[in-house]
């Protein structure tokens, strides 16, 4: 009985060191930790969207802002410079702005009053001459642009006049058709009207209030995972471009916003300032070939 036990003990004594040696020699060692940092470049994303401005809002603003007389001018009736009249132009009805093609059109209705203020026959005659009172519609047009500050820019020019009643000045038995002369007066002083329209539109028509919420919302962190810890993606926008297009009821800016994507975690060691939303930059011109409907987002 003792002999088998002794034999088993000897076998264990011989095999145990051998097994220990074999296990030790075949031990799998984990690889060394990677100490290098690798930067993964993610292509920029492009968000394409439209910002619009309602032409009705422009009409409402202009009709509230532009009222009363906008031109009072004394001119001679004839080249001989003997009779002088005072011409007063007054807005008498609603201005109508419409869009067609790549232009804005404006119908500007005005009342024209012309009163004789001086005559070759002296001041006595001036009080006996009936003033001219009529109206006309001036048609103007302008290309539409947008500047770097997101404001609509116009450069109106007069296209034509449509007189409701031909303006005639009657001096005693003589009648003088004043249409040609008044057309000259309006043409020479057209900047009083066109500059008024351009400046008021520039004050009112801006796309910035509509764009700012989109600009900031797209830069808000988006939670994509909360297991095992919070992970966000965030787009940092630093470039934006646009191109104006007109439609019958609106002005549209086709906009392309370029952004870089970042990953943020609870353990991200980085200054918070790096992930703060960038302020809205100056607008760049969007090229025709870059105008597309779909966005290109890389994450």
What is the biggest distance separating any 2 CA atoms in the chain, rounded to whole angstroms?
Answer: 161
Do both 182 and 249 map to the same domain?
no
Q: What pLDDT digit, counting tens, does each position of 199-232 carry?
A: 999 999 999 998 888 888 888 888 887 777 788 8
In a domain, 7, yes or no: no
Q: What pLDDT digit, counting tens, does each position of 22-34 carry?
A: 555 555 566 665 5
**Look-up of token digits 């690889």:** 31
What does the alpha-carbon distance between residue 283 and residue 268 come to, in Å, rounded to a whole number?
32
**Look-up of token digits 């702005």:** 97
Do both 263 and 197 map to the same domain?
no
**Look-up of token digits 């001459």:** 129
Do both 185 and 227 map to the same domain?
no
Do both 163 and 262 map to the same domain?
no
Q: What pLDDT digit, counting tens, does each position of 84-121 carry?
A: 778 888 888 999 999 988 899 999 999 988 887 776 66
Do both 66 and 154 map to the same domain?
yes
Do both 60 and 120 map to the same domain?
yes
In a domain, 254, yes or no: yes
What does the alpha-carbon distance between residue 129 and residue 146 come to, in Å, rounded to a whole number?
49
Phi, psi of 100 (to 5 degrees): -150, 125
Question: Domain boundary at 204, 235, 264, which?
Answer: 204
Question: Domain boundary at 175, 204, 233, which?
Answer: 204
The separation between the first and the last C-alpha atoms of the chain, rounded to the nearest angstrom, is 76
Do both 284 and 220 map to the same domain?
yes
Phi, psi of 192 (to 5 degrees): -60, -35
In a domain, 151, yes or no: yes
State the pLDDT confidence band at 8, using cuts at 50, 70 and 90: low
What contacts 76, CB < 8 A, 6 or more positions away?
82, 83, 84, 85
Domain range enclosing 84: 55-204
Do both 166 and 105 map to the same domain?
yes
| 25, 18 contact by CB (below 8 A) | no
Do both 61 and 197 map to the same domain?
yes
Do both 107 and 233 map to the same domain?
no
What does the alpha-carbon distance between residue 283 and residue 207 come to, in Å, rounded to a whole number?
11
Phi, psi of 188 (to 5 degrees): -65, -30
| 102, 246 contact by CB (below 8 A) | yes
């Amino acid at each position: 009985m003792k002999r088998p036990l002794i034999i088993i003990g000897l076998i264990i004594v011989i095999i145990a060191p051998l097994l220990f040696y074999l296990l030790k020699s075949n031990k799998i060692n984990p690889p060394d930790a990677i100490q290098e940092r690798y930067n993964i470049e993610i292509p920029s994303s492009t968000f394409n969207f439209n910002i619009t401005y309602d032409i009705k809002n422009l009409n409402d603003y202009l009709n509230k802002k532009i009222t009363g007389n906008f031109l009072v001018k004394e001119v001679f009736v004839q080249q001989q410079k003997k009779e002088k009249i005072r011409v007063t132009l007054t807005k008498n009805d609603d201005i109508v702005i419409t869009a067609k093609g790549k232009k804005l059109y404006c119908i500007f209705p005005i009342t024209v009053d012309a009163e004789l203020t001086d005559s070759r026959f002296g001041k006595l005659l001036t009080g006996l001459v009936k003033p001219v009172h009529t109206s006309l519609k001036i048609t103007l047009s302008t290309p539409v642009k947008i500047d770097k500050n997101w404001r609509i820019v116009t450069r109106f020019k007069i296209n034509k006049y449509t007189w409701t009643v031909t303006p005639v000045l009657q001096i005693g038995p003589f009648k003088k058709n004043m249409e040609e002369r008044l057309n000259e007066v309006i043409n020479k002083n057209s900047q009083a009207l066109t500059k008024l329209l351009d400046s008021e539109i520039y004050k009112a028509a801006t796309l910035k209030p509509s764009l700012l919420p989109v600009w900031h919302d797209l830069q808000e962190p988006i939670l994509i995972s909360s297991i095992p810890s919070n992970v966000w993606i965030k787009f940092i926008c630093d470039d934006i471009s646009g191109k104006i297009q007109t439609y019958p009821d609106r002005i549209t800016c086709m906009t392309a916003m370029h952004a870089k994507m970042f990953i943020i975690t609870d353990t991200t060691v980085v200054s918070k300032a790096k992930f703060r939303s960038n302020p809205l930059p100056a607008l760049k011109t969007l090229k025709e070939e870059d105008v597309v409907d779909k966005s290109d987002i890389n994450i």
